Amino acid sequence: MKVHEYQAKQIFAEAGIPVPPGEVATTAADAFAIAEKINKPVMVKAQVHVGGRGKAGGVKYAENAEAARVLAQTIIGMDIKGLTVKKVLVTIAEDILSEAYVGIILDRVTKRPVIMVSAAGGIDIEEVAAKTPQKIYKLFVDPAVGLRAFEARNLAYKLYRDINQVRQAADIIMKLYGLFWKCDASLIEINPLVTTQNGSVIALDAKLNIDDNALYRQPAIATMRDLDAENPAEVKAREADLSFVKLDGNIGCIVNGAGLAMATMDLVKRYGGEPANFLDIGGSSNPQKVVTAMQIILSDQNVRAILINIFGGITRCDDVATGIVTAFAEFKPTVPVVVRLTGTNEKEGQRILASIKLPTAETLDEGVKKAISLAGEV
Protein backbone atom coordinates (compact mmCIF):
# COMPACT_ATOMS: atom_id res chain seq x y z
CA MET A 1 0.00 0.00 0.00
CA LYS A 2 1.22 3.46 -0.87
CA VAL A 3 0.55 6.60 1.12
CA HIS A 4 0.63 10.13 -0.19
CA GLU A 5 3.60 12.42 0.35
CA TYR A 6 1.73 14.55 2.89
CA GLN A 7 0.82 11.41 4.86
CA ALA A 8 4.40 10.10 4.76
CA LYS A 9 5.65 13.49 5.97
CA GLN A 10 3.22 13.33 8.86
CA ILE A 11 4.69 9.95 9.86
CA PHE A 12 8.24 11.25 9.37
CA ALA A 13 7.53 14.31 11.53
CA GLU A 14 6.11 12.14 14.33
CA ALA A 15 9.37 10.15 14.25
CA GLY A 16 11.44 13.32 14.56
CA ILE A 17 12.59 13.58 10.93
CA PRO A 18 12.56 17.27 9.93
CA VAL A 19 10.13 18.09 7.12
CA PRO A 20 8.99 21.48 5.80
CA PRO A 21 5.61 22.72 7.08
CA GLY A 22 2.62 22.34 4.79
CA GLU A 23 -1.00 21.24 4.48
CA VAL A 24 -3.07 19.42 1.92
CA ALA A 25 -5.75 21.18 -0.17
CA THR A 26 -8.56 19.84 -2.33
CA THR A 27 -9.61 23.19 -3.79
CA ALA A 28 -7.85 26.29 -5.10
CA ALA A 29 -9.43 28.31 -2.28
CA ASP A 30 -7.94 25.96 0.30
CA ALA A 31 -4.52 26.26 -1.38
CA PHE A 32 -4.81 30.07 -1.22
CA ALA A 33 -5.65 29.96 2.49
CA ILE A 34 -2.75 27.62 3.32
CA ALA A 35 -0.25 29.69 1.33
CA GLU A 36 -1.53 32.87 2.96
CA LYS A 37 -1.01 31.31 6.39
CA ILE A 38 2.55 30.25 5.48
CA ASN A 39 3.13 33.78 4.19
CA LYS A 40 6.21 32.79 2.18
CA PRO A 41 6.79 31.37 -1.31
CA VAL A 42 5.37 27.84 -1.48
CA MET A 43 5.47 24.71 -3.60
CA VAL A 44 2.18 23.29 -4.88
CA LYS A 45 2.60 19.52 -5.25
CA ALA A 46 0.16 17.05 -6.81
CA GLN A 47 -0.66 14.12 -4.51
CA VAL A 48 -0.84 11.02 -6.70
CA HIS A 49 0.75 7.59 -6.34
CA VAL A 50 3.17 7.88 -9.29
CA GLY A 51 6.67 9.15 -9.81
CA GLY A 52 7.65 11.93 -12.19
CA ARG A 53 5.13 14.45 -10.89
CA GLY A 54 7.51 17.34 -11.47
CA LYS A 55 8.23 16.37 -15.08
CA ALA A 56 4.47 16.06 -15.68
CA GLY A 57 3.86 19.60 -14.41
CA GLY A 58 2.41 18.51 -11.09
CA VAL A 59 4.92 20.35 -8.89
CA LYS A 60 5.09 24.14 -9.18
CA TYR A 61 6.64 27.09 -7.36
CA ALA A 62 4.32 29.88 -6.22
CA GLU A 63 5.67 33.27 -5.18
CA ASN A 64 2.57 34.16 -3.16
CA ALA A 65 -0.89 32.97 -2.12
CA GLU A 66 -2.60 34.19 -5.29
CA ALA A 67 -0.08 32.31 -7.46
CA ALA A 68 -0.68 29.21 -5.32
CA ARG A 69 -4.41 29.52 -5.93
CA VAL A 70 -3.94 29.76 -9.70
CA LEU A 71 -1.50 26.82 -9.79
CA ALA A 72 -3.72 24.66 -7.59
CA GLN A 73 -6.60 25.34 -9.95
CA THR A 74 -4.43 24.07 -12.81
CA ILE A 75 -2.99 21.03 -11.03
CA ILE A 76 -6.18 19.74 -9.37
CA GLY A 77 -7.92 17.72 -12.07
CA MET A 78 -4.72 17.17 -14.05
CA ASP A 79 -4.06 13.66 -15.37
CA ILE A 80 -0.65 12.28 -14.39
CA LYS A 81 0.13 8.84 -15.83
CA GLY A 82 -3.55 7.87 -15.86
CA LEU A 83 -4.36 9.17 -12.37
CA THR A 84 -6.43 12.30 -11.75
CA VAL A 85 -5.03 14.75 -9.22
CA LYS A 86 -7.63 15.39 -6.51
CA LYS A 87 -5.49 17.08 -3.87
CA VAL A 88 -2.30 19.10 -3.63
CA LEU A 89 0.23 19.66 -0.87
CA VAL A 90 1.00 23.33 -0.26
CA THR A 91 4.34 23.51 1.49
CA ILE A 92 6.98 26.14 2.14
CA ALA A 93 9.52 26.56 -0.69
CA GLU A 94 12.89 25.99 0.92
CA ASP A 95 16.02 27.80 -0.22
CA ILE A 96 18.05 24.74 -1.28
CA LEU A 97 21.85 24.46 -1.33
CA SER A 98 22.21 20.76 -2.16
CA GLU A 99 20.11 17.65 -2.85
CA ALA A 100 20.83 14.06 -1.83
CA TYR A 101 19.03 10.71 -1.76
CA VAL A 102 18.35 8.25 1.07
CA GLY A 103 16.24 5.12 0.66
CA ILE A 104 15.71 1.72 2.26
CA ILE A 105 14.27 -1.39 0.60
CA LEU A 106 14.34 -5.10 1.37
CA ASP A 107 16.99 -6.91 -0.69
CA ARG A 108 15.50 -10.30 -1.61
CA VAL A 109 18.89 -11.85 -2.47
CA THR A 110 20.56 -11.20 0.89
CA LYS A 111 17.22 -11.12 2.75
CA ARG A 112 18.33 -7.95 4.47
CA PRO A 113 17.33 -4.30 4.40
CA VAL A 114 19.65 -2.29 2.20
CA ILE A 115 20.19 1.41 2.83
CA MET A 116 21.13 3.38 -0.26
CA VAL A 117 22.49 6.92 -0.21
CA SER A 118 23.66 9.18 -3.01
CA ALA A 119 24.79 12.76 -3.24
CA ALA A 120 23.07 12.78 -6.65
CA GLY A 121 19.59 13.39 -5.28
CA GLY A 122 16.62 15.24 -6.69
CA ILE A 123 16.35 13.08 -9.80
CA ASP A 124 15.14 9.55 -10.49
CA ILE A 125 17.40 7.22 -8.52
CA GLU A 126 16.77 4.59 -11.23
CA GLU A 127 18.43 6.93 -13.72
CA VAL A 128 21.43 7.37 -11.40
CA ALA A 129 21.64 3.59 -10.94
CA ALA A 130 21.55 3.01 -14.70
CA LYS A 131 24.00 5.72 -15.81
CA THR A 132 26.28 6.32 -12.80
CA PRO A 133 25.88 3.42 -10.36
CA GLN A 134 29.17 4.36 -8.67
CA LYS A 135 27.34 7.36 -7.18
CA ILE A 136 25.12 5.10 -5.04
CA TYR A 137 26.47 3.70 -1.78
CA LYS A 138 24.79 0.69 -0.21
CA LEU A 139 24.80 -0.80 3.26
CA PHE A 140 23.21 -4.19 3.87
CA VAL A 141 22.01 -4.29 7.47
CA ASP A 142 21.93 -7.45 9.55
CA PRO A 143 18.41 -7.32 11.02
CA ALA A 144 19.55 -9.23 14.10
CA VAL A 145 22.00 -6.44 14.94
CA GLY A 146 20.24 -3.44 13.45
CA LEU A 147 21.73 -0.22 12.13
CA ARG A 148 24.56 1.02 14.32
CA ALA A 149 25.32 4.69 14.85
CA PHE A 150 28.78 4.52 13.26
CA GLU A 151 27.29 2.88 10.16
CA ALA A 152 24.77 5.72 9.83
CA ARG A 153 27.59 8.26 10.20
CA ASN A 154 29.66 6.49 7.53
CA LEU A 155 26.69 6.75 5.15
CA ALA A 156 26.19 10.41 6.06
CA TYR A 157 29.84 11.11 5.23
CA LYS A 158 29.09 9.93 1.69
CA LEU A 159 26.69 12.88 1.42
CA TYR A 160 28.27 15.75 3.34
CA ARG A 161 31.65 17.07 4.47
CA ASP A 162 30.31 19.52 7.03
CA ILE A 163 30.33 17.67 10.37
CA ASN A 164 27.15 19.39 11.53
CA GLN A 165 25.30 18.21 8.43
CA VAL A 166 26.83 14.73 8.79
CA ARG A 167 25.40 14.50 12.29
CA GLN A 168 21.97 15.66 11.13
CA ALA A 169 21.94 13.24 8.20
CA ALA A 170 23.10 10.33 10.40
CA ASP A 171 20.29 11.04 12.84
CA ILE A 172 17.77 11.10 9.96
CA ILE A 173 19.12 7.81 8.57
CA MET A 174 18.82 6.16 12.02
CA LYS A 175 15.22 7.36 12.38
CA LEU A 176 14.37 6.34 8.83
CA TYR A 177 15.67 2.82 9.51
CA GLY A 178 13.54 2.71 12.68
CA LEU A 179 10.46 3.70 10.71
CA PHE A 180 11.21 1.06 8.07
CA TRP A 181 10.72 -1.63 10.73
CA LYS A 182 8.03 0.07 12.76
CA CYS A 183 5.79 0.64 9.71
CA ASP A 184 6.44 -2.76 8.05
CA ALA A 185 7.63 -0.80 5.03
CA SER A 186 8.61 -2.35 1.74
CA LEU A 187 10.20 0.96 0.72
CA ILE A 188 10.96 4.20 2.52
CA GLU A 189 12.65 7.07 0.73
CA ILE A 190 13.68 10.71 0.93
CA ASN A 191 14.39 12.28 -2.43
CA PRO A 192 15.59 14.89 -2.12
CA LEU A 193 17.20 15.21 1.29
CA VAL A 194 18.26 18.84 1.14
CA THR A 195 20.51 21.29 2.90
CA THR A 196 19.23 24.83 3.35
CA GLN A 197 20.89 28.23 3.65
CA ASN A 198 20.93 28.01 7.45
CA GLY A 199 22.75 24.65 7.38
CA SER A 200 19.75 22.47 8.18
CA VAL A 201 19.23 19.04 6.62
CA ILE A 202 15.55 18.26 5.96
CA ALA A 203 13.38 15.79 4.05
CA LEU A 204 11.92 17.81 1.21
CA ASP A 205 9.98 14.81 -0.13
CA ALA A 206 8.84 11.56 1.46
CA LYS A 207 7.83 8.19 0.07
CA LEU A 208 6.51 5.24 2.08
CA ASN A 209 5.15 1.92 0.80
CA ILE A 210 3.74 -0.58 3.28
CA ASP A 211 3.73 -4.37 2.92
CA ASP A 212 0.05 -5.20 2.33
CA ASN A 213 0.45 -8.45 4.29
CA ALA A 214 1.33 -6.45 7.42
CA LEU A 215 -1.51 -3.92 7.25
CA TYR A 216 -3.46 -5.85 9.86
CA ARG A 217 -0.94 -4.65 12.47
CA GLN A 218 -0.74 -1.13 11.06
CA PRO A 219 -4.32 0.08 11.64
CA ALA A 220 -3.41 3.78 11.73
CA ILE A 221 -1.64 3.59 8.38
CA ALA A 222 -4.35 1.37 6.88
CA THR A 223 -6.86 4.20 7.39
CA MET A 224 -4.69 6.36 5.10
CA ARG A 225 -5.52 4.24 2.07
CA ASP A 226 -6.88 6.48 -0.70
CA LEU A 227 -8.99 4.34 -3.02
CA ASP A 228 -9.47 7.31 -5.40
CA ALA A 229 -5.72 7.31 -6.01
CA GLU A 230 -5.46 3.62 -6.85
CA ASN A 231 -6.06 1.72 -10.06
CA PRO A 232 -9.82 0.86 -10.05
CA ALA A 233 -9.09 -2.64 -11.38
CA GLU A 234 -6.67 -3.31 -8.52
CA VAL A 235 -9.23 -2.07 -5.99
CA LYS A 236 -11.92 -4.33 -7.45
CA ALA A 237 -9.52 -7.29 -7.47
CA ARG A 238 -8.55 -6.74 -3.84
CA GLU A 239 -12.23 -6.61 -2.81
CA ALA A 240 -12.76 -9.95 -4.62
CA ASP A 241 -9.71 -11.50 -2.90
CA LEU A 242 -7.77 -11.70 -6.16
CA SER A 243 -4.07 -10.89 -6.52
CA PHE A 244 -3.82 -8.47 -9.44
CA VAL A 245 -1.15 -6.19 -10.85
CA LYS A 246 -1.70 -4.18 -14.02
CA LEU A 247 1.08 -4.41 -16.63
CA ASP A 248 1.60 -2.84 -20.05
CA GLY A 249 1.16 -5.83 -22.40
CA ASN A 250 -1.82 -7.14 -24.37
CA ILE A 251 -2.15 -10.78 -23.22
CA GLY A 252 -4.56 -10.94 -20.30
CA CYS A 253 -3.61 -13.77 -17.91
CA ILE A 254 -5.89 -15.58 -15.45
CA VAL A 255 -4.01 -18.20 -13.45
CA ASN A 256 -4.33 -20.04 -10.14
CA GLY A 257 -1.30 -19.75 -7.88
CA ALA A 258 1.35 -17.02 -7.77
CA GLY A 259 4.15 -19.31 -8.95
CA LEU A 260 2.15 -20.56 -11.91
CA ALA A 261 1.19 -16.97 -12.73
CA MET A 262 4.85 -15.94 -12.78
CA ALA A 263 5.76 -18.96 -14.91
CA THR A 264 2.92 -18.15 -17.31
CA MET A 265 4.06 -14.56 -17.70
CA ASP A 266 7.65 -15.70 -18.24
CA LEU A 267 6.51 -18.03 -21.01
CA VAL A 268 4.40 -15.32 -22.64
CA LYS A 269 7.51 -13.13 -22.84
CA ARG A 270 9.67 -16.06 -24.00
CA TYR A 271 7.43 -16.57 -27.02
CA GLY A 272 7.40 -12.88 -27.91
CA GLY A 273 4.25 -11.71 -26.18
CA GLU A 274 3.70 -9.18 -23.39
CA PRO A 275 1.48 -9.98 -20.39
CA ALA A 276 -1.17 -7.37 -19.63
CA ASN A 277 -1.35 -8.31 -15.98
CA PHE A 278 -0.56 -10.62 -13.12
CA LEU A 279 -3.79 -12.17 -11.84
CA ASP A 280 -3.98 -15.06 -9.37
CA ILE A 281 -7.45 -16.35 -8.54
CA GLY A 282 -6.00 -18.32 -5.63
CA GLY A 283 -6.65 -21.88 -4.61
CA SER A 284 -10.39 -21.83 -4.08
CA SER A 285 -13.06 -23.25 -6.38
CA ASN A 286 -15.38 -20.26 -6.43
CA PRO A 287 -16.71 -19.69 -9.98
CA GLN A 288 -17.55 -16.07 -9.06
CA LYS A 289 -13.82 -15.34 -8.71
CA VAL A 290 -13.35 -16.33 -12.33
CA VAL A 291 -16.27 -14.12 -13.37
CA THR A 292 -14.77 -11.14 -11.55
CA ALA A 293 -11.33 -11.90 -12.97
CA MET A 294 -12.75 -11.93 -16.52
CA GLN A 295 -14.54 -8.63 -15.85
CA ILE A 296 -11.32 -7.01 -14.65
CA ILE A 297 -9.29 -8.27 -17.60
CA LEU A 298 -11.92 -7.23 -20.13
CA SER A 299 -11.97 -3.69 -18.71
CA ASP A 300 -8.39 -3.26 -19.94
CA GLN A 301 -8.58 -1.71 -23.40
CA ASN A 302 -5.08 -2.96 -24.24
CA VAL A 303 -5.99 -6.63 -23.94
CA ARG A 304 -6.09 -8.42 -27.31
CA ALA A 305 -6.35 -12.01 -26.06
CA ILE A 306 -6.95 -13.78 -22.75
CA LEU A 307 -5.02 -16.83 -21.60
CA ILE A 308 -6.57 -18.87 -18.77
CA ASN A 309 -4.08 -21.33 -17.28
CA ILE A 310 -5.41 -23.58 -14.50
CA PHE A 311 -3.54 -26.38 -12.76
CA GLY A 312 -6.27 -28.05 -10.72
CA GLY A 313 -5.37 -29.26 -7.27
CA ILE A 314 -7.60 -27.79 -4.60
CA THR A 315 -8.98 -25.69 -7.42
CA ARG A 316 -11.48 -27.74 -9.43
CA CYS A 317 -11.35 -27.35 -13.21
CA ASP A 318 -15.13 -27.78 -13.55
CA ASP A 319 -15.75 -24.83 -11.17
CA VAL A 320 -13.36 -22.67 -13.18
CA ALA A 321 -15.07 -23.72 -16.40
CA THR A 322 -18.46 -22.84 -14.90
CA GLY A 323 -17.11 -19.39 -14.04
CA ILE A 324 -15.80 -18.93 -17.59
CA VAL A 325 -19.14 -19.90 -19.14
CA THR A 326 -20.97 -17.52 -16.76
CA ALA A 327 -18.57 -14.70 -17.66
CA PHE A 328 -19.14 -15.30 -21.37
CA ALA A 329 -22.90 -15.10 -20.84
CA GLU A 330 -22.58 -11.85 -18.86
CA PHE A 331 -19.86 -9.97 -20.73
CA LYS A 332 -19.83 -11.49 -24.24
CA PRO A 333 -16.10 -10.85 -24.76
CA THR A 334 -14.98 -9.78 -28.23
CA VAL A 335 -11.33 -10.73 -27.69
CA PRO A 336 -10.24 -14.37 -28.16
CA VAL A 337 -9.90 -16.54 -25.05
CA VAL A 338 -7.61 -19.59 -24.81
CA VAL A 339 -8.02 -22.04 -21.93
CA ARG A 340 -5.65 -24.64 -20.59
CA LEU A 341 -7.17 -26.83 -17.88
CA THR A 342 -5.38 -29.72 -16.26
CA GLY A 343 -5.78 -31.52 -12.94
CA THR A 344 -8.79 -32.05 -10.70
CA ASN A 345 -12.02 -32.60 -12.69
CA GLU A 346 -10.21 -31.73 -15.91
CA LYS A 347 -12.51 -33.76 -18.18
CA GLU A 348 -15.63 -32.30 -16.62
CA GLY A 349 -14.22 -28.79 -17.06
CA GLN A 350 -13.46 -29.39 -20.72
CA ARG A 351 -16.98 -30.78 -21.25
CA ILE A 352 -18.44 -27.57 -19.78
CA LEU A 353 -16.21 -25.39 -21.99
CA ALA A 354 -17.21 -27.35 -25.07
CA SER A 355 -20.69 -25.86 -24.70
CA ILE A 356 -19.34 -22.44 -25.74
CA LYS A 357 -16.74 -23.81 -28.19
CA LEU A 358 -13.69 -22.18 -26.58
CA PRO A 359 -10.21 -22.88 -27.97
CA THR A 360 -8.39 -25.11 -25.49
CA ALA A 361 -4.77 -26.18 -25.20
CA GLU A 362 -3.24 -29.45 -24.02
CA THR A 363 -0.05 -27.84 -22.73
CA LEU A 364 0.98 -24.42 -21.42
CA ASP A 365 3.37 -23.90 -24.35
CA GLU A 366 0.54 -24.55 -26.78
CA GLY A 367 -1.81 -22.22 -24.91
CA VAL A 368 0.70 -19.37 -24.76
CA LYS A 369 1.57 -19.64 -28.48
CA LYS A 370 -2.10 -19.76 -29.41
CA ALA A 371 -2.97 -16.70 -27.28
CA ILE A 372 -0.09 -14.68 -28.76
CA SER A 373 -1.09 -15.68 -32.29
CA LEU A 374 -4.74 -14.76 -31.75
CA ALA A 375 -3.77 -11.43 -30.16
CA GLY A 376 -1.89 -10.57 -33.34
CA GLU A 377 -5.01 -11.13 -35.41
CA VAL A 378 -7.19 -8.73 -33.39
pLDDT at position 378 is 64
Question: What are 43-72's pLDDT values in tens digits?
Answer: 999 999 887 788 889 999 999 999 999 999
Q: Which residues participate in catalysis according to the annotation?
A: 101, 189
**H or E element at residue 188:** strand 185-196
Residue type for 325, please? V
How far is it, in rounded angstroms, from Cα 290 to Cα 308? 10
The DSSP bridge partners found for residue 100 are: 193
What's the pLDDT band for 203 if we cut at 50, 70, 90?
Answer: very high
How far is it, in rounded angstroms, from Cα 308 to Cα 314? 17
Characterise 359 by phi-psi region: left (phi > 0), alpha (psi -120 to 50), beta (else): beta
Least Cα distance to 226 among 13, 7, 65 occurs for: 7
How far is it, in rounded angstroms, from Cα 106 to Cα 228? 28
Measured over the CA atoms of residue 342, residue 348, residue 349 and residue 350, the dihedral's sign is positive
Least Cα distance to 347 among 329, 337, 360 occurs for: 360
Which carries the bigger pLDDT value, residue 79 or residue 166?
166
Percent of the chain clearing pLDDT 70 (strictly above): 99
